[in-house]
């Protein structure tokens, strides 16, 4: 059951360039999408989110794009920095009222930013 | 910045033993969660908790699991009789109300449970 798919297990990018991480989903009921970053031996750290009523959300170097018709979202990091090297998880939740937060996660993409 | 704290960071137990994993959520958050990640697999939802009761649980969260908020700050996950397949990283998370239910979860650093 892969309702949230991150098809690239790893990505290497040169420092200063753009990192683009992709995520596809199959459940039409998902209406809120999140990206988390995870370092080894730490918990997932929230990065940025987007509601299904938007197609873009930006926060500093991080931008998330949502294409509902394609059921696809992407995370852009510009410019990429060595400290961005981590595993990035895409997650999604269906609308089910306040306080319901059964997130479905992708398997993650390991980003390596090369100095 | 406020954070979710979990103890212990690593717990080793023998099969059949009871374990309690502890969490202190962010103080003004009202929704609490447990997720787990078996090595090499996805992060999976276990249970959500609000207003002193379980609001949602997954198929994984069977009768051997229970959660409790024993006081105003702690949130615990108990596994009554551990099995080898319970070995995983267990993450506690919390979120605040508002934004129509769309507020991000904040995770702790996890407890690595090893069942031998």
Which residue in this structure is represented by tokens 């506690």?
A: B92
Contact residues, chain B to chain A, C-beta under 8 Å: 4, 6, 30-31, 33, 35, 41-45, 48, 50, 55-56, 58, 91, 93, 95, 97, 100-102, 104-110
State residue B71's pLDDT score: 87
Residue ranges per structural domain of chain A: 4-114
**A97, A103, A104: residue with CB nearest B105:** A103
Question: Is the pLDDT assigned to residue B28 strictly greater than 90?
Answer: no
Residues of A in contact with B43 (CB under 8 A): 44, 89, 91, 103, 105
Q: Cα(B9)–Cα(B24) distance, rounded to whole angstroms?
A: 13
State residue B51's pLDDT score: 87
pLDDT tens sequence across A22-68: 999 998 889 899 999 999 888 999 999 999 999 999 999 999 999 99
Question: Is the pLDDT assigned to residue A1 strictly greater than 90?
Answer: no
pLDDT tens sequence across A3-19: 999 999 999 999 999 99
Which residue in this structure is represented by tokens 């596994």?
A: B79
In angstroms, the separation between the Cα of residue B107 and the nearest Cα of chain A is 6
**What residue of A is the nearest CA neighbor of B6?**
A43
State residue B110's pLDDT score: 96
Q: Give CA separation, A62 vs A30, A78, A80, in Å.
A: 21, 7, 10
**A32, A101, A105: residue with CB nearest B43:** A105
Question: Is the pLDDT assigned to residue B101 strictly greater than 70?
Answer: no
What is the 3 state secondary structure string of chain A? CCCEECCCCEEEEECCCCEEEEEEECCCCEEEEEEEEECCCCCCEEEEEEECCCCEEEECCEEEEEECCCCEEEEEECCCCHHHCEEEEEEEEECCCCCCCCCEECCCEEEEEEC
CB B45 within 8 A of CB B33: yes
Query: Which domains occur in chain B, in start order?
Result: 5-115 (2.60.40.10)
What tokens appear for A69 in the block?
């018709």
Confidence of residue A101 (pLDDT cuts 50, 70, 90): confident
CATH topology of domain A4-114: Immunoglobulin-like (2.60.40)
Residues 6+ apart with CB under 8 A from B82: B13, B14, B15, B16, B17, B18, B19, B113, B115
Find the mean pLDDT for residues A85-105: 83
Question: Is the pLDDT assigned to residue A97 strictly greater than 90?
Answer: no
In angstroms, the separation between the Cα of residue B53 and the nearest Cα of chain A is 12
Strand residues in B25-74 grouped as ranges (E): 31-37, 43-50, 53-57, 65-68
């Amino acid at each position: 059951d892969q309702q949230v798919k991150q098809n690239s297990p790893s990505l290497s990018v040169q420092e200063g360039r753009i990192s683009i991480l992709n995520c596809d989903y199959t459940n039409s009921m998902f209406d809120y999408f999140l990206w988390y970053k995870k370092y080894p031996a730490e918990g997932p750290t929230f990065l940025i989110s987007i509601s299904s009523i938007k197609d873009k959300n930006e926060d500093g170097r991080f931008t998330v794009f949502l294409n509902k018709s394609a059921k696809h979202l992407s995370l852009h990091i510009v410019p990429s920095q060595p400290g961005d090297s981590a595993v990035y998880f895409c997650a999604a939740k269906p609308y089910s009222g306040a306080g319901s937060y059964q997130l479905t996660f992708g398997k993650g993409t390991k980003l390596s930013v090369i100095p | 910045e406020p954070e979710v704290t979990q103890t212990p960071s690593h717990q080793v137990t023998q099969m059949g033993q009871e374990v309690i994993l502890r969490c202190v959520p962010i103080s003004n958050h009202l929704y609490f969660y447990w997720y787990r990640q078996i090595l090499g697999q996805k992060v999976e939802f276990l249970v959500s908790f609000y207003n002193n009761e379980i609001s949602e649980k997954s198929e994984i969260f069977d009768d051997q699991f229970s959660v409790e908020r024993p006081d105003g700050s702690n949130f615990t996950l108990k596994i009554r009789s551990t099995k080898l397949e319970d070995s995983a990283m267990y993450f506690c998370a919390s979120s605040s109300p508002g934004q129509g239910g769309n507020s991000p979860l904040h995770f702790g650093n996890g407890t690595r449970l090893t069942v031998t």
